Amino acid sequence: MVAGYAAGSVGTGGFGVLPGLVLAYYLTDTLGVAAALASLVVIVPKIADVLIDPLIGSISDRSSHRTGTRVPLMLAGALGLPLLFILTFSAPVSAGPGVGAMWVLVFFLLAASAYSLFQVPYIALPTELTGDYHERTRLVSVRIAVLALTILVIGAGGPELRDAAGGGARGYLVMAIGVSALMCGAMIWAVRGAARHTVTHADAPVGSLLSQYRDGFDAIRRTRAFRLLVSVFVLQALATAVMLAGAQYLASYVMGNEGALTGLFVALVGPALVVMPLWYRFSHRYGKLRGYVVSSVLFVVATALLTLAAVDAGSWIYGAVALAGVGYAGMQVFPLAMLPDVIEDDARIGGRQRGGSLSGIWTAAETAGLALGPAVFLGVLAVTGFVSKTAGETVVQPESALTGIALGFSVVPAILVAISLVVLRNYRTEQESTHENER
């Protein structure tokens, strides 16, 4: 059960990290799309997903109640996402920046929709696979460990594969094909596991599909713990998305080495593979909430240190990014381990289990954060005078753009996570309170 569930993170992690890491750079430095237009290309598909994710959640709940499984939507996403991901990185360079931007917009929109078909029911599964408070943390911890390994392999290996294939448009296409094959196999494994191990299912849906769509949003108003946890998670998703979008620019223009991206990724994700068991033990002893706070504080400290990259782009950057990686690991595992507890809180308040609807809202919020991240970073580039180019062209960036890259990579994420900590102070669920009393 644990291995099958965790395998899904190869698909969700691959699609979550690679577009956030290279799509903006692909648009501005291979297709020659201006930074302002590129920001729209990466954000519009995600805005569309914000609107449809709650609907997918409601459909998933209907499927769970009617058939006892959320597999049909997951299978559709597992089969559709890889093909659409390849098409996203197949834009015709010779047709010009305008056509290239429109091509990426259309296929990235479709790919993001296929991702949601898999992701929304997938994150609702822990509530239905086990009812144990600590077992859910173990389930999610293993999943996040696989996610961290995925980010390391795909985040670092994807650009390496691109470069090995000669870079440019051809390099991106080869990268997309290789990553898509890996994602497809892993997601199908997760679908098979979900079909075999689900022990509970959603309660009978009430009203029409439209009313269930509204019902998911109503949970934000009615269930305080859900509202707070979603708010914290979307702020932190935005923070990490800004950092991911800036990594390639930091490597290429501030550190002066496009290949430094691999080192940055190893520094960010490598520690997560080591500290994940430690975060699990920490939560078992002190609770998920306290672990979430501590990991978030570590991330703020590390990203604040990275502001010095604006004046000194030395090898110390890898150490600061590694410290951020320790915090990032906790920021991934704890909210996802807390979500099933919040779903149970909502069931107690509302009188029925509707994990798919809440998962749809959750995914919509995460999608919004991940979408805004590259757009925010590209906005910083536009304001600070960044000069776009096509593949093979050489440009000299102004000092203002270099400073913008360094501060966008550090200051913006630090501020966003600091704000999320203020919100997190007011979070409580019944299970969290029970755990505190047991201690």
Segments making up each domain of the chain, as ranges: 2-438
Instruction: Report whether pLDDT(33) > 70.
Output: yes
The CA distance from 350 to 304, in Å, is: 41
When comparing pLDDT for 341 and 308, which is higher? 308
CA separation, residue 348 to residues 23, 120, 200, 225, 343 (Å): 42, 22, 16, 12, 9
Instruction: Report whether pLDDT(124) > 70.
Output: yes
The per-residue pLDDT for 115 is: 92
Please name the residues in contact with 386: beta carbons below 8 A apart, sequence gap of 6 or more: 28, 35, 397, 401, 404, 405
| Band (199; pLDDT cuts 50, 70, 90) | very low
Mean pLDDT along residues 195-220: 59
Q: Which CATH architecture has domain 2-438?
A: Up-down Bundle (1.20)
Contact between 5 and 193 (Cβ < 8 Å): yes
When comparing pLDDT for 143 and 400, which is higher? 400
Residue 287 main-chain phi, psi, to 5 deg: 100, 155
The per-residue pLDDT for 432 is: 54
When mean pLDDT is compared over 99-113, 333-347, 393-407, the highest value belongs to: 99-113
Output the six-digit token pair for 287.
Answer: 């609770």
Segment 153-158 long-range contacts (CB within 8 Å, at least 24 positions apart) = 154/13, 154/14, 154/17, 154/18, 154/179, 154/182, 155/17, 155/18, 155/21, 155/265, 155/269, 156/261, 156/262, 156/265, 156/266, 156/269, 158/18, 158/21, 158/22
Nearest by Cα to 341 from 223, 204, 190, 218: 223
The per-residue pLDDT for 128 is: 64
Contact between 176 and 22 (Cβ < 8 Å): no
The per-residue pLDDT for 296 is: 97
Which range is least confidently modeled, 92-101, 174-183, 221-230? Answer: 221-230
Mean pLDDT along residues 59-66: 74
